[in-house]
Amino acid sequence: MNKHFRFSGSNFRRLRELGIAPSAVLRRAGLPQSFAGEARVLLKTEELFALWRAIGEMSPNPAIGLLLGTENRTERFHPIGLAALSSENFGAAIDRMARYKQLTCPEEILQEKNDEEWSIQFRWLLADEVEPAVLIECAFAWVLSTGRHGSGMRLSPIRVEFMQPRAHAKVIERHFGCPIVFGTHRNAIVFRATDAQKPFVTRNAELLAMLAPQFEEELKQQNNKDENFAERVRIAIQQKLTGKRPTIDDIADVLHISSRTLQRRLQDEQCSYQRVLDEARHHLARHYLNNSFLELNEAAYLLGYEDGNSFVRAFRTWEGVPPARWREQQRAEAAS
C-alpha cells in the first residue's frame, strides 16, 4: 500500500487563483515553504490533514473545499481523472477511480448499491484523527464534478450526508442541488442507482486504451514490491469487516491465494491471522469512535463482535481504557 499522498503543485496554483497565499497555508500547517514551488510533494496522512485544515482556516470562504473540488476543464484533470472521464459511464468512472487511487495514496473509495441508491464514501486508511471537513467537501465535489463533466448533464445526488454540522449548509445545498443531512453515522454522497448508468460524452476508448494498461502495470509492480504481506491482509480484513468476522478463507479469496499460502506467508513475517485481525479491528475501532456518532453496540457489530462487552474488553486491552472514556478524551483534546 502506498503510504503517502501525492499532492500536486497545481493545488497551490488554484489557491493563488482563489486569493489564498500558499505560504500562509503551509506556515499554518507547519509544513516547509519549499512545497509551494514543487510540482508534487509527498505527504503523510497527518500532514495532509494539517494542510487541509489550514486551507479551511485561512480561507475567508467556508465553501473553499467545494471550489477546490470542482473542475470543468478536461485539461486540468489528473491522469486517473482522465481515465475516469474516458469511461463509458459514471459508474465505470468511479470504479476506475477507486481501483487506481491506491497507486497515489492510502485512501479508498467505498461504494454501496441497492435497487434505489448508490452511495459513495471516502476512507483514509492510515488516519488516527477526524478528517477535515473541507477535505470531505472537496472529495464529494470532485465526484460530482466528474459526473457532471463526464455526462454533460447537471446531475445532482439524492442527498449528501455529513456526520458533523456545517454553518454554510445553504451553500452546500445549492452546490450539490439536493438536501443535506447532518448528524448521520457516515459522510456519504448518495446518488440514484440509475445514475451509475449515465453515459459519458467524454468517453474516449483510445485514450483509455493507453492509460489503463499503464495503471494496471503500476498496480502489478506495486503489489510485487509490497513486502509487508501482513499489511495487505489487514487492509483486506478492514474492507470485509462490515458486521461479520471474516474468516481466513474469506481473506484468501480476496487476495486470490489459498488459505494455506496466506497462513504460511504470515508465519514468514512472524505473524498470525488472529493478530492481524486484532490490528484491523483496533484501527477501525479508533476510526469509528473518532469519526462517527455510532453507539458502542453498533461499533461492536461492525467490527464483528458478538456483543458489546466483548468489544469493551478488547478495547481495554488495546488502549488501557474503555471505549466510551477514550472517545470522551479524544473529543476533549480536539475541542481544546
- pLDDT value at position 69? 94
In the DSSP assignment, the letter for residue 35 is: G
Q: Is the pLDDT of residue 292 over 80?
A: no
Q: What is the pLDDT of residues 144-179, one digit of tens each?
A: 999 999 999 999 999 999 999 999 999 999 999 999
The alpha carbon torsion through 15, 21, 24, 26 (nearest 10 deg) reads: 40
- pLDDT value at position 120? 97
- How many of the other CB atoms lie within 10 Å of CB of 320? 9
The alpha carbon torsion through 202, 208, 209, 215 (nearest 10 deg) reads: 180
Q: Is the pLDDT of residue 272 over 60?
A: yes
- The packing angle between helices 273-291 and 323-335, to 10°, is 50
Q: Is the pLDDT of residue 336 over 80?
A: no
Q: What is the pLDDT of residues 112-135, one digit of tens each?
A: 999 999 999 998 988 878 899 999
Instruction: Write down the number of H helices and E strands in the chain.
Output: 16, 7
Q: Is the pLDDT of residue 226 over 80?
A: no
Residue 104 pLDDT grade (very low, low, confident, very high; cuts 50, 70, 90):
confident
Residue 13 in grid coordinates: 496554483
Name the region of 32 (left: φ>0; alpha: ψ -120 to 50; beta: rest). Answer: beta
Q: Is the pLDDT of residue 236 over 80?
A: yes
In order of 3, 104, 111, 135, 231, the CA distances from 238 in angstroms are 16, 19, 14, 22, 11
Q: What is the mean pLDDT of the chain?
A: 90
- pLDDT value at position 227? 55
Q: Is the pLDDT of residue 105 over 90?
A: no
Of these ranges, 96-100, 156-160, 181-185, the one predicted with the greatest mean pLDDT is: 156-160
Instruction: Name the nearest CA neighbour of 51 among 7, 13, 16.
Output: 7
